[in-house]
């Protein structure tokens, strides 16, 4: 009789212990379904020695609708191949959208006026680009767009933050307004 009580207590304890409860994680019968192996865009691919994990389309793939920017090696490709569809659109809607994204993602380093003296930028060993320099004013819109999508120098890419093409070109147009205001 004593063993039956011990066995009954053990089984009931086991059943209670296995229950996830209201605010606890579930019991994972197939954990690989929950925690799948994935490649992070900023990580290194463990199967390719010294290469990033960003995947590129197969060779000879033809982009439809918008240029595939990730295949471009550097900004010179972007300067030749990317044109701003909103180049002459400095409407309040576009400029406001660009300002909103610039203030959130760019202004902390590049400064409110684009002079490269944002609060974070002042503390950096390599100062951020000053958009008001004559050399930078001569950059094409495609080069600035490419820097947003791919990053440049010590600046990482902001493709995940400034997600749509319209938002990126709006930031480019906003930078152009900052440059015009400084002249």
**Would you place residue 3 in the very low, low, confident or very high pLDDT band (cuts 50, 70, 90)?**
confident
- Higher pLDDT, residue 61 or 128: 128
Q: Is residue 39 part of a domain?
A: no
Q: Is residue 108 part of a domain?
A: yes
Domain containing residue 177 = 69-182
**Facing residues of 152 across strands?**
155
Query: 159: buried, middle or exposed (CB in 10 Å: 19+, 13-18, 0-12)?
Result: middle
CB neighbour burial string for 12-34, b if at least 16 within 10 angstroms, e if fewer: eeeeeeeeeeeeeeeeeeeeeee
33 near 24, Cβ under 8 Å?
A: no
**Would you place residue 179 in the very low, low, confident or very high pLDDT band (cuts 50, 70, 90)?**
very high
pLDDT at 142 over 80: yes
Rounded to an integer, what distance in angstroms lies between the CA atom of residue 131 and that of residue 175?
7
**Would you place residue 6 in the very low, low, confident or very high pLDDT band (cuts 50, 70, 90)?**
confident
Q: Indicate yes or no: pTM above 0.85.
A: no
86 near 169, Cβ under 8 Å?
A: yes
Q: Lowest-pLDDT range, 7-16, 41-50, 110-119?
A: 41-50
- Higher pLDDT, residue 49 or 26: 49
Q: Is residue 141 part of a domain?
A: yes
Q: Is residue 48 part of a domain?
A: no
Q: Is residue 9 part of a domain?
A: no
Q: Is residue 22 part of a domain?
A: no
Check residue 26 and report its DSSP letter. Answer: P
Q: Is residue 173 part of a domain?
A: yes
Q: Which residues contact 18 (CB under 8 A, 6 or more apart)?
A: 27
Q: Give the number of domains in the chain.
A: 1
- What average pLDDT score do residues 134-140 get? 94
Q: What is the CATH number of the domain that holds 86?
A: 1.10.760.10
| pLDDT value of residue 43 | 66
Q: Is residue 27 part of a domain?
A: no
């Amino acid at each position: 009789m004593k063993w039956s009580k011990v066995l009954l207590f053990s089984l009931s304890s086991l059943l209670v212990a296995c229950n996830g409860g209201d605010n606890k994680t579930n019991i994972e019968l197939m954990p690989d379904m929950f925690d799948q192996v994935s490649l992070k865009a900023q990580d290194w691919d463990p199967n390719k020695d010294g290469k990033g994990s960003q995947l590129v389309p197969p060779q000879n793939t033809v982009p439809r609708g918008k240029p595939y920017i990730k295949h471009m090696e550097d900004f010179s490709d972007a300067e030749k191949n990317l044109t701003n569809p909103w180049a002459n659109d400095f409407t309040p809607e576009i400029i406001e959208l660009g300002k909103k994204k610039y203030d959130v993602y760019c202004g902390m380093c590049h400064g409110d006026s684009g002079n490269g003296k944002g609060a974070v930028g002042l503390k950096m060993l390599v100062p951020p680009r000053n958009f008001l320099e004559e050399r930078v004013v001569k950059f094409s819109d495609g080069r600035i767009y490419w820097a947003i999508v791919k990053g440049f120098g010590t600046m990482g890419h902001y493709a995940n933050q400034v997600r749509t093409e319209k938002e990126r070109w709006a930031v480019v147009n906003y930078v152009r307004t900052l440059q015009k205001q400084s002249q």
